[in-house]
Each structure stands twice: as structure tokens, then as C-alpha cells.
Amino acid sequence: MLKTLANAWKVEDLRKKMLFTLMIVAIFRFGNVLPLPFINPSVVKQIYAGQAGSLLSILNSVTGGSLDSLSAFALGVGPYITSSIVVQLLTFAIPSLEEISKQGEQGRKQIQRITKYLALGLALLQAYGIVIGIFSSVFTAEGFLPKLIVITALVAGTQFVVWLGELITEHGIGNGISMIIFLGIISRLPNTIITWGKGVINGAPGFEWWKALILIAILLLSVVFVVYLTQGERRIPVQYAKRVVGRKMYGGSSTHIPIKVNMSGVMPVIFASSLLALPQTLALVIGGGFRDFVQKYLSTNSTISVIVFVIVQFALVILFAYFYNSIQFNPYEYSKNLQQNGGFIPGIRPGKPTTEYLGRIVSRITMIGAIGLGIIAAAPRLFGHFMSVNLLLGGTSIIIVVGVIIETVNQLEAMMQMRHYKGFLNK
């Protein structure tokens, strides 16, 4: 990876992209520590410390935000991700939205605009719920006006963070939204490591040395598994028929269709976690019995809630893996393009049989990848709960961190291959 970065740095336009990305990262980190007015930071930390495994910590773990300090960018990109999920699902359910999505670049812009408006509403709900429902006691001034100012600042902050993510995607390196979440996870890692180190040295409960060794082993195995899951692929052979044009013969070559085991990358995990955070947001606003229900069954501070949370998360990861792959890989289009270019899969007739064959292969591979993602997301959480261990990184965080690194390196590799540079992943 370091060799890839070094080679990319030698290319002027890639160097500009890297520097631009670093600039956006610096702005994001500044906003993550920028305090809001009328807030007592010490009281915020006390309240957050008492919310381990509850609604607040789940919201904080999947958004790239900083609810633990209630800074300007506290909400992260959570409302935008949830909005994206809702709009994409509605696109399949509402014919008019589906028609808009098929209108090329103009349709994409309209869908993006709808997503942002919905994200604005969700951000307002979430900010209101967090400020009124959890942090109402952290204000240094009386009255509703200070709370209104903080709510407005939180909503503006999440809109700004989404814009920063779009800038990274368009002018920098990597997927901007994934990068924001990645940065949010990484920024909390040093404090977690320091806490663990002190706990092991002092022999604090839950920080026994043998638990630390098991935790490190699980972490390393999870990282290796995610790497293999992300890089693994099934190669379907393709043969092109020979064609005579004039006095020249074309075709007759062999190639393959690469189908990734984890074709959708980190998106199923991010989508599943964000959707699980939606009831948490509504619970903060509605309160009462609904909040008690969510706290009991969809948080992670009791055995029953951990089990329910893990089962729901596992099912959502599989659902979104199939959903996202259906958008990325269309067997009918692949089959049609193969037939139009004189290509065929050996032993499979062109047309409908090829479409059905590709559909079966993609379905099986998607299931393997989705189950793998689900296991990695669930296993560390279950281990942490039943062994009474504070995790260095949760399973979801591991998938996101490793996945974003691999996707970013792959993007750099692709850019350098276009310029005939050798990087880290070349063989």
C-alpha cells in the first residue's frame, strides 16, 4: 500500500487529488472537534459515557460523527445514508420515481435532490431528538433558544459533511461518504487503544490480558477474512466466435467475467447499520413506550437486545447485499452484450440460458459474501458482550475500515494502470 501511495505521489494529477483529499480530511477533523455554543463539554462526556451500548453509541458508530463530544459535525453522514436507502427502496416501489431514475444524468440529479431534501428532514428529527431527548441537561443557558441554535447548527453541520464527502468523490481519492465514516471510526481508535492499554496494565475488570490476546486474535482474523472476502472473485470463462471481415479474421479470443464475492463492498454493512439507527432516531423524538421498546430490543446493553440486534443486522446485511448487487450487476444486460459482440459462455447457449446461468452464479456468490459480512459484523459484538469485553473495533467498523482502504488502493491502482505505473496490487 505504501508503494502504491509513493508511486501515485509521482503523478501530478494524482498528487493533486491526494492533497485535495487530505485538505478535506483536515476540514472534517476540525469540524469534529469544533465545540457548539451553550454546551458544557464535561457534562456531554459524562452522559455519553453512561450510554455505552445504547441508542446514542449505536448512532455514533455508523455515521462518522462525534456525538461523544456534541461537536459541529456530531451527526456525521447518518441522515444522508438513511435517506439514500429510503429513496432507493421507494424508487422500486413508486413508478414515477423509477421513471425519473431512468432519465440518465438529469434523472440522477433529481433523485439526488430528493435524497438531500429527505436527509434534511431526517437530520432535523435526529438533532431534535438528541438535543431534547438526551442532552437537554448539558446547556449552560436557560430557555429554548439555545437549544434551537444547537439543533440548527447540527443540521447545518451534517449538510456540510455530506458536501465534503461529495467533494472527495468528485475531486479526490475514494468514495467520499465511505471515507467520512472511515475517518470517524479511525479518529476514535487512539483513545480506545489507550484505554485498553491502561486497563490491561492496571488489571481492570474486563481488561484481563488473556481477553486482550483473544480480542487481538479475533481482530486480526477478521481483517484477514475481510481482505479475502473483498478480493475474492469467481471468473466465468467467455469465448468469442471468429468473424471474417473482408480479408481479416477477428475474434476467437478467450476472456472471463470477474464476479466479486463481495461485489457491493462496504455498502450493505453501512446501509444495514444506518437503517438500524433509524428506530433509534425515532425513539429519541417519540420517547415513551416506543423508546423503551427500542432500548430493550435494538440496543446492545442487555443479552436479549444484543441477540435481537445481531439477528436483525445479519438479515439486513443479506437483504442489502442482494439489493445492491441487483443494481450493480444485471445478468440480462451482460447476456445481451455478450451476444451482440459474438461472445458466449462455453457449454451455455446464448440468450435466456446465459441470463439464467449468470443470475444463478451471482445469487450464490452474493449469498456467500453476504453471510461472510454478516458473520464478521456479528461475531465481535457477541464476543464482546458475553465475555464482558470493550471492543477495540466492532465487526461493522472492521469491515468499513478494511473495505475503504482496499477500495481506495484499488482506485489508485486503476488510475496508475491507465498511466502505465506499477503499484501495490499488480502481479
Of 295, 406, 390, whose CA–CA distance to 58 is shortest?
295
Q: What is the pLDDT of residue 343?
A: 83
Q: Do domains 1-198 and 208-393 have the same CATH topology?
A: yes
pLDDT band at 427; cut points 50, 70, 90: very low
Domain boundaries, the chain: 1-198, 208-393
Residue 208: how many CB atoms within 10 A of its CB?
A: 16
Of 162, 191, 137, whose CA–CA distance to 73 is shortest?
162
Rounded Cα distance, 174 and 264, in Å: 15
Rounded Cα distance, 286 and 263, in Å: 38
Q: What is the mean pLDDT of residues 253-271?
A: 83
Amino acid 400 reads: I
Q: What is the pLDDT of residue 285?
A: 75
The residue with cell 459533511 is 161
Angle at 297 between CA 378 and CA 313, to 5 degrees: 30
Which residues, 6+ apart, have CB-to-CB distance to 145 below 8 Å?
none
Rounded alpha-carbon distances, angstroms, from residue 133 to 49, 129, 287: 16, 5, 8
Rounded Cα distance, 91 and 108, in Å: 12
Task: Report phi then psi at 96, rounded to 5.
Answer: -65, -40
Q: Does domain 1-198 have CATH number 2.30.40.10?
A: no
Tens digit of each residue's pLDDT (9 = 90 or more) over 22-80: 999 999 999 988 889 999 888 888 887 766 555 566 666 666 657 778 888 988 888 89
Tens digit of each residue's pLDDT (9 = 90 or more) over 361-385: 999 999 998 999 888 888 887 877 7
Does residue 244 register a pLDDT over 60? no
Size of the chain, expressed as the number of residues it contains: 427
Q: What is the pLDDT of residue 168?
A: 94
Chain mean pLDDT for the chain: 83
Residue 202: how many CB atoms within 10 A of its CB?
A: 8
Does residue 104 register a pLDDT over 60? yes
Rounded alpha-carbon distances, angstroms, from residue 104 to 19, 127, 216: 32, 34, 47
Kindly state the helix (H) or strand (E) to which residue 235 belongs, with its residue range: strand 233-240
| SS3 call for 71 | strand
Percentage of the chain beyond pLDDT 90 is: 16
Superfamily per CATH, domain 208-393 = SecY subunit domain (1.10.3370.10)
CA atoms within 13 A on the CB side of 358: 30
Rounded Cα distance, 50 and 388, in Å: 16
Burial class (CB in 10 A: 0-12, 13-18, 19+), 411: middle
Q: What is the mean pLDDT of residues 341-368?
A: 88
Q: What is the mean pLDDT of residues 394-412?
A: 85
DSSP result, 271-312: HHHHHHHHHHHHHHHH-HHHHHHHHHHSSSSSHHHHHHHHHH
Amino acid 121 reads: G
Q: What is the pLDDT of residue 391?
A: 67
Q: What is the pLDDT of residue 181?
A: 87
Q: What is the pLDDT of residue 115?
A: 92
pLDDT band at 1; cut points 50, 70, 90: low
Amino acid 424 reads: F
154 neighbors 74 (Cβ within 8 angstroms): yes
Report the b/e string of 151-170 with b at 16+ CB within 10 A: bebbbebbbebbebbebbee
Q: What is the mean pLDDT of residues 108-119?
A: 90
Burial class (CB in 10 A: 0-12, 13-18, 19+), 297: middle
pLDDT band at 148; cut points 50, 70, 90: very high
Rounded alpha-carbon distances, angstroms, from residue 54 to 222, 297, 313, 406: 24, 10, 15, 31
Rounded alpha-carbon distances, angstroms, from residue 13 to 170, 174, 312, 323, 416: 13, 15, 44, 35, 11
